[in-house]
Amino acid sequence: ADCDPNMADPREEKPRESGELREGSGQSHSNSRQMLESLLNRSMRIHMTDGRTLIGLFLCTDRDCNVILGSAQEYLKPTDSLAQGEPRVLGLAMIPGHHVVSIEVEMDSASSPQYM
Kindly tell me if the per-residue pLDDT of 78 is higher than 90: no
- Mean pLDDT for 81-94 is 83
Entry pTM:
0.67
The amino acid occupying position 20 is E
pLDDT at position 25 is 61
pLDDT at position 116 is 59
- Mean pLDDT for 65-83 is 85
pLDDT at position 86 is 86
Bridge partners of 102, per DSSP, are 47
The distance in angstroms from the start CA to the end CA of the chain is 63
- Mean pLDDT for 99-116 is 75
Q: Residue 5 region, left (φ>0) first, then alpha (ψ -120 to 50), else beta? A: alpha
Least confident of 6-10, 64-68, 77-81, 108-112: 6-10
- Mean pLDDT for 21-37 is 77
